[in-house]
Amino acid sequence: MKRREFISLIGGAATTWPLAARAQQQSIRRIGVLMAVEQDERGQARYSAFRDALANLGWSEGRNLSIAVRWSQDSARVRSNAADLVEMKPEVIFAAPAPAVQPLRQQTKTIPIVFALTHDPVALGFVDSLTHPGGNITGFALYDESVSAKWVELLKQIAPSVGRVAVISDPRMQTGPEFLTQIQLAAHALGLEVLPYAATDAAGVESAFNDLARQPNVGFTIPPSVLAVTQRELVVSLAAKYGLPGIYAYRYYPAIGGLASYGADDIDDFKRAAGYVDRILKGEKPASLPVQYATKFELIINLKTAKALGLTIPPNLLALADEVVE
């Protein structure tokens, strides 16, 4: 080998070897993500917010992070996905919403779990308390049940003639009774009668609306639940069919024709959850990370639907709205 070629070879090795060594020394950390929601535009936006927030904290897929993601809204598939992720033994699992946390809780008591889009994690048995979770689970709850009073207040502001508020609840939700209690308290303060209905499927929703159609001066709300997610298109179509004003917890209701929604900014929830994943990857324990409630809320109003119902949105509400659908 010629002297010049030999020097060039040695010089090239001196340049590239340290880089290769550093790449080998930087280990790839592994996390799992269990999404018990549809892989639709909103679901993708939530996940992207989580992933981007991790990137902002220095965690980049392919460089120092590996993410295994599982999607499904079907309960049997969610359980299967949970078992699959636990078997992979990731360093932490991010799960949303509550139906994703429950099977993980049954599968592992050791792998750290960070949740989002969950209501009352204490009542659901996920944590011992908000300030001291006490186990391998912590995260970000949307809000406590007292926010339901706001739905009643909005209903009365937008539809002043309403004298009755129907509450269509999913009896499978453990938090349902507390939502109903808070709604009853708020309704009583406004002089409104509360009409409770229970439904678990499309037939139950149709039965409730068929009865509501015969009630004078009635509006309605649907507390957060599996029912509220899966039957949203049916609910909006029946509300339009019978000319009933409704206030919802989820922003995708006014997006598809519902009157208005008031609830936590779920995208922000996912961003904040990435912060807990980061802290756990750096050595902190879920038991020492307190559960936090949402800090950002959104009011979404559909003006087209309001006009179709013969309602005029008060100017002060329009000024407060985070988004107006026209």
Mean pLDDT of 278-287: 97
In a domain, 1, yes or no: no
Residues 192 and 109 in one domain: no
In a domain, 58, yes or no: yes
Residues 92 and 171 in one domain: no
Residues 191 and 259 in one domain: yes
Residues 320 and 270 in one domain: no
| The pLDDT of residue 8 | 41
| The pLDDT of residue 212 | 96
How far, in Å, CA of 46 to CA of 268, rounded?
Answer: 9
Residues 254 and 275 in one domain: no
In a domain, 159, yes or no: yes
Residues 82 and 125 in one domain: yes
Mean pLDDT of 154-171: 96
In a domain, 66, yes or no: yes
**Beta pairing partners, 138:** 114
**Range with lowest mean pLDDT among 171-175, 224-228, 251-255:** 171-175
| The pLDDT of residue 124 | 87
Structure tokens at 58: 């220095």
Chain-centroid distance of CA 217 in Å reads: 32
Q: How confident is the model at residue 249 (pLDDT cuts 50, 70, 90)?
A: very high
Residues 157 and 111 in one domain: no
Residues 183 and 256 in one domain: yes
112-149 pLDDT per residue, tens: 999 999 888 998 899 999 999 999 999 999 877 888 99
In a domain, 16, yes or no: no
**Range with lowest mean pLDDT among 49-58, 121-130, 302-311:** 121-130
Domain, as residue range, for 132: 28-142+266-294
Predicted TM-score of the model (pTM) = 0.82
Q: What CATH number is given to the structural domain containing 89?
A: 3.40.50.2300
Nearest to 146 by CA among 297, 310, 253: 297
Give the count of domains, the chain. 2
67-113 pLDDT per residue, tens: 999 999 899 999 999 999 999 999 999 999 999 999 999 999 999 99
Task: Report the relative pairing of strands 218-222 and 297-302 from DSSP bridges.
Answer: unpaired
Residues 149 and 197 in one domain: yes
Q: How confident is the model at residue 229 (pLDDT cuts 50, 70, 90)?
A: confident
Residues 282 and 305 in one domain: no
Residues 173 and 307 in one domain: yes
Residues 129 and 271 in one domain: yes
